[in-house]
Structure 1
């Protein structure tokens, strides 16, 4: 079944189409969630929530505004960031054992493993170091623009401007 037809069927409430969408997108969606959350069971819970949102909000997807996969990943990214910012999640993280801190510190610099999970590696490789850092922090690690400015030691306005420029560059490379 062609992707456009599959999406139309999903929007019409076809459960078989939803199952096929899950088969096609769950693995990469889980990869994005896990790269942000770093916890298997929480990532699995979020994945379920994401696909419930996809089912419940399928009619809100508009192909004129972007690709379906991007829409799915935005739902997953937003759900993951919401979880990270939740009080419950923060309290759980306060109770980490010391050996887990190594993984957290490594994840701050493990940008390439994250982007390779969704096949963007070759496109992001073509961007400069600043764009790579901005995209990593803002989109894969869930930093706010203010947090990104502090992390990269640059003015907030510069982060906002460079973010727009970098996303435009990435968009043009992906759509070539």
Structure 2
């Protein structure tokens, strides 16, 4: 999808119709990101609303010349989702999971292809180096922090940060063709 620069500029100038159109264009993909982190449809919908409130309130901080709007919005969605999972209410709701739920969660966390297909980037992610696939899966689809990903992959934090940046650049190059 080509980035709708004019629509983004209109939204940044306070045009609510442009914002509604942006919501229509990006909500499904961002919901996929949110849901992959929170794993609860009600919480995902609520978090998605928070994401779009942040997009609206912070739209002027986005610079078309510094990166893709989707990447900017994806980071807002990811961070908002992680914040939602750190809330006391979320933790309390997960304390009493049945073993069946637990098995479902475990099996779904390893299905990167299903998650990336839901936002249309599976074919691009599959072309990345294995280390990039692991890093993107942990950071963007499983909601790990960079510190947690460094521990999981047994790599220094600085290495994770550098590789994440390089992997995202590589993914952007593939998407942009």
Once the two structures are TM-superposed, the CA of residue 133 in structure 1 deviates from its matched residue by 1.0
Quickly say closer, same or farther: Cα 1:11–1:148, change in 2 above 3 A: same
Structure 1: 5+ residue stretches without partners: none
The CA distance in 2 between the partners of 1:83 and 1:61, in whole Å, is: 23
Aligned twin of 1:122: 123
SS of 1:143's equivalent in the other structure is coil
Aligned to 1:5: 6
What is the rounded CA distance, in whole Å, between the counterparts of 2:159 and 2:22 in structure 1? 39
Does the 8 Å contact 2:150/2:160 carry over to 1?
Answer: yes
1:151 shift after superposition = 2.4
Residue 68 (structure 1) aligns with: 69
Q: CA RMSD in A?
A: 1.9
Partner of 1:24: 25
Deviations 1:130-162 (A, max 9, x none): 221111001221112332233234454543443
Counterparts in 2 of 1:24-63, with a 5 A limit?
24-63=25-64
Structure 2 unmatched ranges of 5 or more? none
Are 1:163 and 2:177 counterparts? no
- State how far apart, in whole Å, the 2-side matches of 1:150 and 1:107 are: 21
Return 155-164 or 71-80, whichever deviates more.
Answer: 155-164
Q: Distance in 2 between the 1:52 and 1:160 partners?
A: 28
User: Is the CA contact 2:116–2:122 (under 8 Å) kept in the aligned structure 1?
Assistant: yes
Give TM-score scaled by structure 1 length.
0.89
Structure 2 CA distance for aligned equivalents of residues 48 and 169 of structure 1: 30
Matched position secondary structure for 1:13: coil
Tell me, yes or no, if the aligned pair for 2:23 and 2:52 is still in contact at 8 Å: yes
Is the partner of 2:99 in helix, strand or coil?
coil
